[in-house]
Each structure stands twice: as C-alpha cells, then as structure tokens.
Amino acid sequence: MTACGLGVMKDRQFGGDLHHPFASVEAGAPPASNIWRTSMIQMPAIETQPHPLEHPASEPIVNDFSIVAATVNGSGSQTANNVLMRAIFKMGVPVSGKNLFPSNIQGLPTWFTIRVSKDGYTARRETTEILVAFNQRTADEDLASLVPGGVCVYPNDIKFANPRSDVHFYPMPVRDLVKQSGVDAKLRDYIANMVYVGALAELLGIDMNEIKAALERHFKGKPKPVSLNYGVVVAAAEWVRANLPKTDRFRVAPMDKTQGLILVDGNTAAAFGALMGGMTVCAWYPITPSTSLVDAMTELAPILRADPETNTTTYAIVQTEDEIAAAGIIVGAGWAGARAMTATSGPGLSLMNEFVSLAYFAEVPCVIWDVQRMGPSTGLPTRTSQGDVLSAYYMGHGDTHHVILFPGNMTECFEFGYLAFDLAERLQTPVLVLSDLDLGMNNWMSEPFTYPDRPLDRGKVLHADELEKFKDWGRYKDIDGDGIPYRTLPGDPNPRAAYLARGTGHNEFAVYSERPHDWQKNLDRLTRKHNTARTLVPKPIVQETEDATIGIVAYGSTDPAVREACDVLRARGITASYLRIRALPLESTLTGFLAKYERVYVVELNQDGQMAQLVQLHAPEHAARIRPVCICNGLPMSAQFVVDAIVRAEQVAG
C-alpha cells in the first residue's frame, strides 16, 4: 500500500516540470475554480468549540496572505502542502513554500508555510493569516499567532485551551471523512491531511482541477492513490460547502504571473548545474541539509550522463565513511584531472579543513557545496543560517583565502553548479559554494534553466606537445603574472610533465624547500592569484535608486527579503540602493557603492555580522559607514525584520 504515497515514503519534491528543465514550461492561468463534483458524503453538521466571528466579511483579501499548516512530522503532510502550493502556482498566482521541520524522523511538530503573493514576493512573512491546526500539541500556540480576522481550519476533536473571538473557525470531521474513504486503517493518519486540502480549496476558491493535476503528477499518474487521495479532497470540499458558510475575507483568484515558470528547490538546481558542468566524481557523506543535493544528482546522472547505446556512465558518485574521506577523494580526483565535488554542511566542512588546506597550497581544483545550517556544533540541523562565511573564507590553517560563490536564487544555484568547476580549474584551487537550507530544501519559482552556452574552462593545462614551448616550465612558476601557474595531468607521456604535488614548502619547480625566499615568493604568488580571482568571480548585482539616502548590502537567501524591504522602506519615506554580493573575494564594485552612502546596512543571517566584517576589511576607508543588520534565530530572513531594523537605526541617526 506504500504506492499510495501518502507521505509514507521519503518525498523529495521537484515542484516544477523538471523533466524538461531547459525547455519553456507552459504554466498559464486556467479558468476560474471549478469544483469537482461527486456524491456528497452525508454527515451531520458539528458544533464549533470556539466561537467564530459573526460579523460579515468586508472587502476580500485576494492573493495576499500566508497559509501555515501545523502538523506532525512524518504524517504525510508534505504531500498535501506541495499539492496545495502547486495548484495555486498553476492558477498563475506567485507562491513560495517554506518547511520548518524537526531534526527527527517522525512525531515532532512541523510547520509548512505557503506564501501567496500577487506582487511576487517570496520571502518569509512574519504574519499568519490562515492556519491549519492539525497538531493538538501546538494548537494553542499556533492559534495565538493568527492575526485578528484570520482563519483556523482544524479537526473537530482538537480542543483549544484559549479560544479566540476574533478568528474565523472552520472545524472539520476529519476522522469521519477519512473513515468513509475506505482507506486502510494503517494509512488513515497519512491521508487525513487531504481533508485540509479540500477544505482550503473550497474556502479559498482553489481550482479543483489543478488539485487533481497536482496529485496525478505527484503519484506519477497511478490511478489508485490519485483516486483515493482526491476522493478525500472532494469529500472535504463538499462537506465544507454544505455545512460551513464562509465568513472570512481570503480568496485565491487566477492570475497570469507564473506563465513559463517552474517550481524547484536549490539542491536540485545545483545538481543539474554540476552535471551540466561536467562533474565526473562526487564523494560525500550524508548530512542535513545537503543530502538531497546528492540524492538529486544520483537520480539525474543516469539520465543525463550515460551513453544511451552502451549504457556506460561517465561519472562516479561515492558515499564515504565520513567527510574527511570525501574531501580526500575529491582532492585526489581533482589532482588527476577530474571535475570533483562534494556537498556538506557546517559540521562536515569543519572535518574537511586539512584536506582543503592541502588543496589550496598544492593548488588542486575541487568544488565544495556547503548548504549551511544553524551552528555552532550540531546546532539546529533543520534550521537555516549564513554562519559559515568566515570559516569557509579562511578555511584551513595559515594564510588561506578561498573563492566562494553565494547563489541568491534558483538560476544561480544552477549556474554556479557549473561555474564553480570552471573557476576551480581556471584558478587551480578549491571553490566553495555557500547555499543554505532555505535555498536548498525549499521550493522556489524560477525561470527554466538555460543550457550553458560556452565550453568548459579547463584552465592552464599543458599537454605533451605544449610543454615543448616552455624551456623552464615549473609547476608553481608564475609565467603570465596573474599568479596562476600551468599544470599537467597524470598520464602525460612527456617526461617533463611529472612533478610532486606538495603540501610542504616548495619552490616554483615543486622541489621541497625550506628557504625563506621560496616560501615568501610562493605566498606572494598565491596572493596575486587571489587578486586575479577578484576579476573572474561573478560581480555584485546593483540596484541603484536615484534619490537613495542609504545603501543595503546582502547576499544569498536574504535577497528576497531585502528586495521586498526596499519597497516597504520607500513607501515609508526611506529610499535605499541595494547591492547583492555574489562572490568572494570582494572587488571594486562594492568599494564604489560604499563610497556613495553615509550609512550602508549589511543584512545577514548570523550572529556576528560575518560579511560586514569582510566588507570592513575590504574597504577600511569606509568601515565607519557599515551597519550590521543580523539575526540568527534559525528562520529565513523576513522583510519585516529588515524594515524594522533599518527604521530604528535611521531614527537614531537622525
């Protein structure tokens, strides 16, 4: 019966039409809601324990609210939530979804937020307008978080200790509806979530055809699970129509703002990008929230990277005994000429320090995806953070400075998936890509991905015949003045190609040396190479506003919140220009931006303002202008937090 897929099996949602990731996806807005009719299940109306609002609804609130489904982890609610989200998306309405789940397998509370935004905003919204209270343990706390005039859909056997008189209550006979569906008793808890799908579809006007289409896609067209789940959805919708008059103001109405878009999570986008970038070796050890990146790669690689005639694959994906082994494999593979990568999170990154330091000094290309989570230590494995910026940039002992990419959306997760390999080989160094749980594991709207339009950049690789052009070639010799030496790969038949890759002191010919001059010369060259990297990494995205009085700097997953905050601030009389950092090392675009504004707010999801510190080090002449705006509570950044922090700071500044 696991084929019913009622949340029993692990469920990695693609969300969009990713069977064709590089093609245009038709997602136009369909006609208005059309309730699917079946024979209605007859049940008596039930009494509502809380007292609902009696006054009539005023002007409707259309496509501008958040739905929070409060359920129990492992109960199958993820299927219900993704069906709702996809149905609204297919109605042409911009949506985003954020899953707040515990770091256990089953039993603890979980909350899934669907933000419906006619304006296309996708950042976390701090208010909850519609609550699905399907967890008795958190019901009272969840109810207290509802805004006045909000909606609460709940099973009629849940009891609220502190019922409210300013909320619209819709109690549902969940047990009866599920029982009458005929589902096996062992699966009733899983299919129960389809009751709130049907209730919300009826109350909000979500197109039932799109609900069914989402179920068909989720269950890959299997008629039995589709029929079973959809039957409960329809029964719940019809019960609401017959027994619960609508008293609230919230509506979903068709739009045309998602035409051609897809829904996808950042880890899947990164996997696609890495495969398009010629990944040949991936070594990893499972760790939340990066595991689904390699899961996606494992699923996609046989399709995208296998010879259809011989069925021969062109890659190796190796699950290792720990992160230390994973790092060792990718450094060795990178030295041998493979495009090698791993995916991890903060604790795993800590274990990789020594191998990454070796790769930096021996100048071996490799790629590390760090899908950040909350630290220190084990921390909160299922909460988001930007707390690895400094540790990643200076990773290793001694004077190390790494190249880091910061994707801020799904397109960049895809593009940086292949760009990271190009930079690693061009610069002959580890390149780290710092995503986070919010980007990596949540579903986002995106343009379809575009196949790379340029060949792979293998960098300065010398082949046997090319070595003859260099009379005094040395592995670590700076011939071009950019700090980047030429390298050879194992198997080159030219005897001059051989060298010993060293993590110990060496001169420019890779010969062991403890001479101070050789050591200093090598470090000076590595510094030149890092400065060359400033010219190669993605430049910041700058949104200049002519009458701006302040500047805002951000990076990564905080981008949606900052863009929304800029709109809100402008409406409140504070106009800001915005620069989004996309890579380290920092470069001159940022310096010029800082010079324009007396105050520049650096927004980030960590405790100590780690990027703000790097900005001050990069442009010490402007250090006094920098104002860190930081929060480290494990939740994705909200526009409200950014607005409140900047408004308070501007009031103090006068």
| Domain harbouring 613, CATH code | 3.40.50.920
Is residue 530 located within the same domain as residue 508? Answer: yes
pLDDT tens for each residue of 56-107: 457 999 999 999 999 998 778 999 999 999 999 999 999 999 999 988 766 7
State the pLDDT confidence band at 470, using cuts at 50, 70 and 90: confident
The helix/strand/coil state of 583 is strand
Residues 253 and 280 grouped into a single domain: no
Q: How many CB atoms lie within 10 A of CB 232?
A: 27
117 lies in a domain? yes
pLDDT-based confidence at residue 50 (cuts at 50, 70, 90): low
pLDDT tens digits for range 518-553: 999 999 999 999 999 999 999 999 999 999 999 999
pLDDT at 311: 84
Same domain, 509 and 559: no
In-domain check, residue 456: no
Does residue 593 contact residue 600 with C-beta atoms inside 8 Å? yes
Q: Domain boundary residue among 446, 474, 503?
A: 446
Q: What is the pLDDT of residues 152-164, one digit of tens each?
A: 999 999 999 999 9
Residue 4 within any structural domain of the chain = no
Q: What pLDDT was estimated at residue 107? A: 74
- The CATH number assigned to the domain holding 408 equals 3.40.50.970
Please indicate, yes or no, whether residues 189 and 291 belong to a single structural domain of this protein. Answer: no
Residue located via tokens 């399709």: 303
- Is 408 found in the same domain as 364? yes
With respect to residue 24, please indicate whether it lies within any of the assigned structural domains: no
Residue 201 reports pLDDT greater than 50: yes
pLDDT band at 182 (very low <50, low <70, confident <90, very high): confident
Residues 371 and 222 in one domain: no
Q: Which residues contact 241 (CB under 8 A, 6 or more apart)?
A: 35, 202
Cβ contact 402:439 at 8 Å = no
Q: Phi, psi at residue 250, to the nearest 5°? A: -90, 140
**Which of 536, 551, 568 is a domain's end point?**
536
Question: Within this chain, do residues 86 and 222 fall inside the same structural domain, yes or no?
Answer: yes
Averaged pLDDT of the chain:
91
Q: What is the pLDDT of residue 57?
A: 54
Q: How far apart are CA 417 and CA 440, in angstroms?
A: 13
Residue 5 has pLDDT above 70, yes or no: no
Shared domain for 479 and 431, answered yes or no, is no
Residue 13 pLDDT greater than 80, yes or no = no
User: pLDDT tens-digit profile of 544-578?
Assistant: 999 999 999 999 999 999 999 999 999 999 999 99
414 lies in some domain: yes
* Number of domains within the chain: 4
- Secondary structure of 162-192 in HEC code, one letter for each residue: CCCCCCEEEEECHHHHHHHHCCCHHHHHHHC
Percentage above 70 pLDDT, the chain:
91
Together in a domain, 376 and 504: no
Mean pLDDT calculated for residue range 105-133: 94
490 and 441 share a domain? no
Tens digits of per-residue pLDDT, 292-343? Answer: 999 999 999 999 998 888 888 999 999 999 999 999 999 999 999 999 999 9
| Residue 378 structural domain | 264-446
Residues 528 and 545 in one domain: no
- Does residue 638 lie in a domain region? yes
- Residue 116 binned pLDDT confidence (cut-offs 50, 70, 90): very high
In a domain, 89, yes or no: yes
Say if 21 falls within a structural domain.
no
Specify whether 405 is located in the same domain as 502.
Answer: no
